[in-house]
Structure 1
């Protein structure tokens, strides 16, 4: 299937349930607005997307004290179906209906896949609590929505690899959103949208298709530019201290080098 066929299905699903999804988003017990929808695509298609994922050694391993996961954004290196499903979420109709659900005017998809694309996490891999970078790669637009489409069949919540929201900070219990097969989860991104992915505790890979939407204006009046800002999990006090210093140093560099010292490699360079 191509991106138009896939977008037709995604739009139909979201538009059919638009009013209930609006209520879910508005009533999310959180300062981080979110909603999720299950059975986004026909199961046969979702399975084909799973099967299209590359092997871990064909992806980029991001491994540090901040995170441990496999990612890819140079989509022309992989099965074409993966590029089609990513850009289906950037179809104008899909973008508009998501904007309606989340009450965001004129959201803008990211054709460069800056920090988007596909990801995989296996046993003991994780993503520490963090705030996403506030802007796009050129620092012209504000990041406002994070779209996560999960495509691992039979992935149980107890396996880990689940989205976690920390609306009241790390001293309060997080909200866990199961990375259930064929589930689309969408969350706001702003100066307070602390989130993470719980460590995987299973011998298998959690697969995800990721997109971000941007806007000319931030979601909150209090929003300010920030780099991706990591924290340690509540039980990891020393890691938290190290990551706070790490964020401070990287923010200090950005005051001198507006776009960073080097270009972020996690983009889709379509001229390749």
Structure 2
């Protein structure tokens, strides 16, 4: 399966679901963050082939582990089965980008071939991602991060497995949970208030996901701003909330002064 063939499948599905996507995007439920969900994005045999192409362990993946998160990612797409590159860059194809941008009515949207903070993700039992807002910019700080595209490919993934995507209300008190369901695409907007997370995985896993971000020179609210990826705790995690506020302020200050953003070295060159 080539990238161009996958592009045709993705754009065909998005076009057929356009009215549904626009309705979801324009009227988000239980969260202020605009988003849409498409199930059955690709024929199941292709989605299974993508999952089967993921490595059997996270050896070689970059591991993050702190009070903020525990996850494993890789932007080194060339090291793996070609179908993983095909699906990753099918989302970045001009035809796909143009269609998504047109549906959500965003201007001057561009993909990120460097896969800064994107690429392949594997999460295992105990892995999690606390509520956070994404880094506001790309690695060079020339463009604002505007859209997050997440494509899940682990078969038979259920709510009880954990590892599910969560979109929060403005106070990060109540989440809207979207199961990381097999062959499901989730697209969300990214801005100063788009708090999201991944619930702790409760099974050995892996929960496999292909991630992409789209950027634009245009700010989400037409203001000039910058912030690092900023975390808080879950509603019951009072200590993490307090620590997170201090941690976010410190990392933001250091990043502004040094011009250094975390994860830059993990991106493709």
Does TM, normalized by the shorter one, top 0.5?
A: yes
For residues 236 and 21 of structure 1, the distance between their equivalents in structure 2, rounded to whole angstroms, comes to 34
Residue of structure 2 in register with 1:97 after alignment: 99
**More displaced 10-residue stretch of structure 1: 231-240 or 129-138:** 231-240
Answer whether contact 1:232 1:239 (CA < 8 A) is retained: yes
Q: Deviations over 1:146-197 (max 9, x none)?
A: 00000000000111111101132223x1111111000000000000001000
SS at match of 2:266: coil
* 1:25-40 matched pairs, under 5 angstroms: 25-29=25-29, 30-40=31-41
For residues 187 and 223 of structure 1, the distance between their equivalents in structure 2, rounded to whole angstroms, comes to 21
Residue of structure 1 in register with 2:116 after alignment: 114
**More displaced 10-residue stretch of structure 1: 187-196 or 95-104:** 95-104
For residues 157 and 250 of structure 1, the distance between their equivalents in structure 2, rounded to whole angstroms, comes to 33
Structure 2: runs of 5 or more not aligned: none
Residue of structure 1 in register with 2:50 after alignment: 49
Residue of structure 2 in register with 1:69 after alignment: 71
Residue of structure 1 in register with 2:211 after alignment: 210
Answer whether contact 1:148 1:184 (CA < 8 A) is retained: yes
Answer whether contact 2:108 2:218 (CA < 8 A) is retained: no
1:234 aligns with 2:235: yes
- 1:32 and 1:145, CA in 2 relative to 1: closer, same or farther beyond 3 A? same
For residues 52 and 263 of structure 2, the distance between their equivalents in structure 1, rounded to whole angstroms, comes to 31
- 1:220 and 1:60, CA in 2 relative to 1: closer, same or farther beyond 3 A? same
1:84 aligns with 2:58: no
For residues 179 and 263 of structure 1, the distance between their equivalents in structure 2, rounded to whole angstroms, comes to 24
Q: Deviations over 1:206-234 (max 9, x none)?
A: 10000000011112235621001011111
1:19 aligns with 2:19: yes
Answer whether contact 1:191 1:223 (CA < 8 A) is retained: no
Aligned residues: 267
Residue of structure 1 in register with 2:266 after alignment: 266
For residues 87 and 169 of structure 1, the distance between their equivalents in structure 2, rounded to whole angstroms, comes to 35
Aligned Cα root-mean-square deviation (Å): 1.4
Answer whether contact 1:151 1:181 (CA < 8 A) is retained: yes
SS at match of 2:265: coil
Residue of structure 2 in register with 1:187 after alignment: 188
- 1:129 and 1:205, CA in 2 relative to 1: closer, same or farther beyond 3 A? same
- 1:243 and 1:203, CA in 2 relative to 1: closer, same or farther beyond 3 A? same
**More displaced 10-residue stretch of structure 1: 45-54 or 99-108:** 99-108
Answer whether contact 1:138 1:259 (CA < 8 A) is retained: no
